[in-house]
Amino acid sequence: MDIAVWMEKFDQGDVRALSKIITCLENSNGLIPDAVKPIFSRTGNAYRIGITGPPGAGKSTLVDGLCNLYRKKQLSIGVIAVDPTSPFSGGALLGDRVRMTRVGFDAGIYVRSMATRGTLGGLAEAALDAADVLDAFGKDIVILETVGVGQSELDIARAADSTVVVLVPESGDGVQAMKAGLMEIGDLFVLNKADRPLADRAVQEIEAALDLKREHAIWNPPVIPTIASRGEGLDKLIDALDKHRITLQESGALEVKRINRRKERIRQIAERELRRRLWSDPRLRLLDKNVEAEENPFAAAHKLIDDFLKG
């Protein structure tokens, strides 16, 4: 079917069309079909929640629990779960399979797993594209869940209205979490698996680490103990998320966040488009072969760019 036909179905709320369009963007390599572009003018209605934390912290289970609670409030949800690819399995590990058993086939919940790409930054772009699509589709809540503690993964979780950092008692002594850059990006902290030993101490350590930055803020990040596997504490997390959203709205910070996010998107799309034009130029592909012989990589690279900009 033509992409324009899918767009019509998308506008009618067809979930297959939603999937189709996300896939189309994932495979577009930056060359977005014109028919799809209007989607990106229709964003800004969904509330975006970023969820991140170290591997094994129970993020997927927590997200499933949040989905169920939001559904009870009649809110529709889109989830983008960023999962590194394994060449062993040829695809994203666990993500979808585990989820299917939990959130089932509720039409109000859409879950999409995304695998890491070869190119640096490619995944962040694909994830943010998909978040915009879910937003334009009319989802009330869009959750961006990223595994890992890397810079690009954190950037994805940070591109949200509220960012939740999930830790577990074993994540260790706070210093490790700070070292991983997690303490800085959290608007809310969850201490999951709070029935495990040393959970109380872990909560205290996270709070102590947070105290260092509490002075200037309009919002003091709370630390919420949960046992996601039993659904315990998730209602408190939802309440805290609501409170954070209201604080952002009332202070005007939400509007500032969204303008900055929009600006960042334009920059990102511009860089992607420029990269695409650079590497899709057949003249440059030929040059690519020649430059390998040149001695200095700067000389080779600058020759490429000069030729490209000369047209």
Q: Does residue 29 belong to the site contacting a second copy (CB under 8 A)? A: no
Smallest gap from residue 163 Cβ to a second copy (A): 15
Q: Residues 73 to 102: which contact a second copy by CB under 8 A?
A: 83-88, 93-94
Q: Which of 108, 138, 172, 231 binds a second copy (CB under 8 A)?
A: 172
Give me Rg for the CA atoms of the chain: 21
Return the structure tokens found at 127.
């994830």
Return the structure tokens found at 288.
């690519």
Q: Does residue 155 belong to the site contacting a second copy (CB under 8 A)? A: yes
Q: Which stretch binds a second copy (CB under 8 A): 104-112, 193-201, 224-232, 301-309?
A: 301-309
Q: Which stretch binds a second copy (CB under 8 A): 9-17, 105-113, 167-175, 222-230?
A: 167-175
Residue 146 phi/psi, 5-degree rounding, is: -125, 135
Q: How far is CA 287 from CA 295, 297, 298, 305, in A?
A: 14, 13, 14, 11
CB 166 within 8 A of CB 223: no
Distance CA(298)–CA(300), nearest Å, equals 5
Q: Residues 101 to 140: which contact a second copy by CB under 8 A?
A: 116, 120-121, 123-124
Q: Which stretch binds a second copy (CB under 8 A): 54-62, 133-141, 190-198, 222-230?
A: 54-62
CB 27 within 8 A of CB 34: no
Residues ≥6 apart with Cβ < 8 Å to 2: none
Residue 190 phi/psi, 5-degree rounding, is: -115, 130
Distance CA(206)–CA(202), nearest Å, equals 6
Q: Does residue 267 belong to the site contacting a second copy (CB under 8 A)? A: yes
Q: Which of 218, 271, 280, 283 binds a second copy (CB under 8 A)?
A: 271
Q: Which of 270, 280, 283, 285 binds a second copy (CB under 8 A)?
A: 270
Q: Residues 173 to 192: which contact a second copy by CB under 8 A?
A: 175-181, 183-184
Residue type, 218: I
Residues ≥6 apart with Cβ < 8 Å to 252: none
| CB of 66 or CB of 168, closer to a second copy | 168
- Map residues 186-225 to x or -, x wherever contact with a second copy holds by CB under 8 A: -----------------------x--xx------------
Q: Does residue 1 belong to the site contacting a second copy (CB under 8 A)? A: no
| CB of 2 or CB of 295, closer to a second copy | 295
